Amino acid sequence: MSYKFIPNGTVTTPTGFKAAGAVGGVKPSNTTKRDIMMIASDTPCTAAGVFTQNLVKSSAVLLTKKHLENGTAQAVIANSGNANTCNADGMEKAEKMATLAATNLDIDPDDVIVASTGVIGQVLPIEPFEKAVPEIASAMSENGGSDAAEAIMTTDTVKKEAAVSVELSNKVITIGAIAKGSGMIHINMGTMLSFAATDAAISAEMLKSALEEAVDVSYNMVSVDGDTSTNDTLTIMANGAAGNEIITTRNADYAAFTEGLTALFKKMAKMLAADGEGATKLIVCRVNGAKTKSDAKGAAKAVICSSLVKAMIFGADANFGRVLCALGYSGCDIDISKVDVAFSSVSGRVEVCSNGAGIEFSEELAKKVLLEKEITIEVELNDGDGAAEGYGCDLTYDYVKINGDYRT
């Protein structure tokens, strides 16, 4: 393992990055929470991104995809409170956000990543940005990552931020990230936003490749409610400030960098799932023994997406049949007669199914295991070497309460 997590790490932990956030009042009712933020590098960066695959896309997504076509960026501007989606003037507003950031940071508007999150179909007011962006630019510091993380929160109850250091062949580099997401999360990069930064020197092509590899087994394995947001955006900027030999091929340094990035994103993915709207428990579905990696991923995703499994975990009811049911409709190549299932947590482990059939187990132990805050559903398919993890949360009464009147 070439990486280690950095205590209290955030997106500005890597050398050469600064950030800040401010109370802009994007929603007129907001007078206390930071809702506009910027992140910037001291120098131009190679950059890459992945985005929602929903046909309905925020204007911010469309603009950022365009800005990243040349593989470079130097700053991020983002807001919560309004998604800037399905608006006739959406692109105009997104471009204005980029221009305001660029003017106050003295960079090219084409080097600005733009993102928005919040309610869909309401016009984004530009006045809060005109007021807040100069204030943010003057407050930018290497200690501002947490303020930036707060500014992108919507129904999130906690900030999501972390950083890792990675040992390469001639230098130690750092990767930091922040994210937001609580509901409308069924990430298919392709409402989740995440911004990563690194002081590694890496080409745009290799950065994009590493990003896609890491996303595939982390963020793309998260589901809170089965809804793919219109605004999903994940970007990474690399400024090379660590001074390592630039990574231009899939060599050992590339492998170490990707391993660290993947570990970071998996940690962030668990944070997103655990903070799902109304959630009380994190669900990790660990699948082993699949015929292929694709089958393992599909099986894990089917289990954590199942409303019945999610409700079962909420009620701490070891109804393993719901796990088998999800595996059965996953569309993956699975021999159900070979499947073993167990539930585990810090309170213990209980086997509930062997070779596709129920076995005797202690209901008392099962209840104890399932009452914990993090539950692992262990699925052994006994049919190959494919393995994967999926990340989800329980389905609670509060999820409906939160989303029943989200707009009003």
pLDDT at res. 56: 82
Kindly report the average pLDDT of the chain as a whole number.
Answer: 92
Sorted by where each begins, the domain ranges of the chain are 3-274, 282-404
Distances (CA, A) of 118 to 155, 192, 229, 240: 9, 10, 10, 33
Average pLDDT over residues 110-118: 95
Tally the residues of the chain: 408
pLDDT per residue as tens digits for the range 100-113: 999 999 999 999 99
The yes-or-no verdict on residue 408 having pLDDT over 70 is no
Reading the block at residue 236, the tokens are 């990474």
Domain 3-274 and domain 282-404, same fold? Reply is: no
What superfamily in CATH does domain 282-404 come from?
A: ArgJ beta chain, C-terminal domain (3.10.20.340)
The yes-or-no verdict on residue 352 having pLDDT over 60 is yes
Closest by Cα among 321, 351, 357 to 339: 357
CB 160 within 8 A of CB 179: yes
Closest by Cα among 53, 105, 63 to 84: 63
pLDDT at res. 1: 78
- Label residue 275 by pLDDT band (50, 70, 90): confident
pLDDT at res. 405: 66
- Label residue 394 by pLDDT band (50, 70, 90): confident
More confident residue, 18 or 407: 18
Is residue 191 among the annotated active site residues?
A: yes
The percentage of the chain sitting over the pLDDT mark of 90, rounded to a whole number, equals 80
More confident residue, 218 or 191: 218
Determine the Cα–Cα distance for residues 215 and 220; give it in Å rounded to an integer: 6
Spot the catalytic one: 191, 228, 230, 235: 191
pLDDT at res. 229: 55
CB 274 within 8 A of CB 223: no
CB 199 within 8 A of CB 241: yes
Most confident by average pLDDT, 81-90, 183-192, 196-205:
196-205
Determine the Cα–Cα distance for residues 151 and 27; give it in Å rounded to an integer: 13
The yes-or-no verdict on residue 400 having pLDDT over 90 is no
What are the strands of the beta sheet with 348-354, ordered from one edge?
Answer: 357-358, 348-354, 340-345, 374-380, 282-290, 386-393
The yes-or-no verdict on residue 247 having pLDDT over 50 is yes
> Which residues touch 12 (CB under 8 Å, ≥6 apart)?
18, 19, 39, 141, 142, 143, 144, 145, 148, 176, 197
Nearest-5° Cα angle at 150, 144 to 152: 110
Domain 3-274 in this protein, CATH class:
alpha beta
